[in-house]
Structure 1
Amino acid sequence: MSSYRDLLRTPGVARIIAAQLTARFPFGMLSLAFLLHIEQVTGSYGAAGLVLAATSIGQAIAGPLTSRWMGVWGIRKVLLLTLAVCAVSVTTIALVTMTVPAYMAVGFVAGLSTPPVQPAVRTIYPKLVTSQQLTPLFSLDASAQEIIWVLGPVVTTFVSTQVGTVWGIALAAVIMVVGCLWFISSPEVGRVRIPRSRRKLGQVLKRPPVLLATVVGFLLIGACSAVEAGVVATFGHDGLEAGIVLAIFSVGSLAGGLALGHTPIGPYALARRIFIVFAGLAVASLFLNAWWLSVTLFVAGIGIAPALAVLFAIVSASVKFSDTAEAYGWVGTGQLIGAAMGSAAAGFLIDGSGAVGAFWVAGVFALFGFVIPWIGHRWHPDLRGRDASPIPDTEPINTQPS
């Protein structure tokens, strides 16, 4: 814990962590808020899953593009533009009653314009701390972001059930605007200039660790999205049980991230951490009551933040600084496609088999999330005794006399 205290005393670190967490907080609210609102309007979890899938697909397409634009136009300009469009789209879903295809279209635009705060802050971090502090910073960040998933579902469930689903979405939109403006105005954002990448879009995926992180992120977040849908379907709209169980799921992740943040990252680190997630989810569907799900999802959560920290670290250590934003964009795209697939599959199985179907989906995603990095461990950088700093950008130097 002392190393975390030292990190937070580093100039700018506490401020940028707080600002980016606030900016990203609405995205711990919007999936559940959209799910509750669209299901209430249409009466179908399948329809709600389709809207969530459309939103996530929009985010997936935008991830690498908007991240790469930050190297062309600058971080602040890209964030301001995307924030304006996203805020309008989210508000439209809350205030305008539409058909399911129309909801999907507006959700797609909202996803397409999601401010790329996460790729931006992952790219800024190596410029704030020493190389030895970078891996602990990724762990701290992965743990701290669980605050989003602890408080977000609770706040959304309370506001949506006690006040109204429209107000649940509207509150998320307000927090998004305030948080993004705080992050954009932070001095650290203005001081970092992302170099323009010389590679074609998508070339960074030829780096095996980036591809591994993208695929595993897809599976991990797909499992989490299915769990979220399953918990909401289990407890319905009449109480706070859904929000509380999801919060406990995230508390497990927070605890795991802080406890395992200093564990050396070897070639099997990712597989071992995701096995914890699979173990918890494998037994979660046996009894769909609040106590059982709280215990099993807490256990599953212990592996999530540590796994995400490994994903961030192996990407950072494997690409040039000019490619880091795009690389994190692709990793985010993988996670968002996973969220789309997990939500959609869970929604249809809930309609067909009941809430337990969502937990079956989550277990399958987590199983593949464990198997793939175990088989592909040779693609996983061994960071034991190494730092996770990006590869420096270099240019040819003319040594011929002029």
Structure 2
Amino acid sequence: MMYTLTDLQNMTAADRAKIAARYGILTPSGKPSTSAARIHAEQPAAAPETAAPEIDTPETAAAEIDTPETAAPTAHMEVIRIYLTVNGATAADAENIRRAAETAAAPILHPDTRARMDRRILIPEGLTAAQLTGFMNLLDYQQRSAIVDRCRDLINGLTSHSNPAAIVTPEDMENGETPELVGGTFRYEYEGESYETAPDALMMAGFMPTAATYTHNGQTYPTAAAALTAAGFTLEDGQWEDMNQDAYTGEVHALTAAHRTGVVTVSPLTPTEWIDEDGETYPDETAALDAAQTWGNVERTPADDQQYPPMWGTVWELRYMNGHTPQEIADFTGFTVYQWEGTYIIGVNGGGYDFYEAHWVPLFYMLGSLSN
């Protein structure tokens, strides 16, 4: 049926949203529009009352496109294809269903298939945080709500504490006994200077990545030796000297000096091993940072806004991380991750936005709960 502008204006916003969802009339954020004028303008045109299509003639057959049970908005055909593919259908099956849906022949979708699309939505594996956000933005309001419902069910299985003091008492905190920040935002100090990232501090402390780009005077060089040479360093009998004839016992030592003075800028690639001035190698940044902290070269402390307890009042215990490190969880989901007496605790340092789409959907995606 066609809704008149007056009909729409006399409806509640909730009723208008239902109609908008049915016809795929969405706001830029993906939610059903509640604008009476927009719904009136964009609703599908009703078939003329005099039209009497021959039902046994393929050229004139026309399915009902305004029936919620059979409607498949063409704006979401690509999403439907993805859902069917990840739910086990072959690419050919998914393509046939997509084409059928575009011609409004949506009744061919099996009820179980439709239920899987509507209530048990799966997200393809291997997405970055940005790609996950992009995928979520493809979905309509009802589809996103289905994912949020799954997250809500899973959240109920986590142990939560509405009062962080239930984990760490005020007495413990007064004595300096608080959960350790193991995933979040840190600051790194070396010889009284503060650095925002661990690589910046490590390179000042005499650790260098084995895979990096090297820049001198705006020119990029593929190797450390080439950059040092361009910067006026000379190599003789395994020892480097700068233009002031100061000697360095190895390439890492010379490169550290050049980096500290800004003569050569080192930009680590990922992934990369690290090496110190004594020639000791480390498999990754974490191992190098552990060594630097052990020697007292670099000190890592939580950023001011990452101290326990987190800004939001409730915290949750996280006992499974699907093979990810606490920092990987923090980087991907935006949660702050603490550790206390062998248990990981997650919290939110923020407020005033949708926690589900910002934190919980990415978390459960990392745990595999939304991709299997």
Query: Shorter chain as normaliser: what TM range?
Result: under 0.3
TM-score normalized with structure 1 length? 0.18
Higher relative CO (CA 8 A, sep ≥ 6), structure 1 or 2?
Answer: 1
Which of 1 and 2 has greater Rg? 2
TM-score normalized with structure 2 length? 0.19
More strand by percentage: 2
More helix by percentage: 1
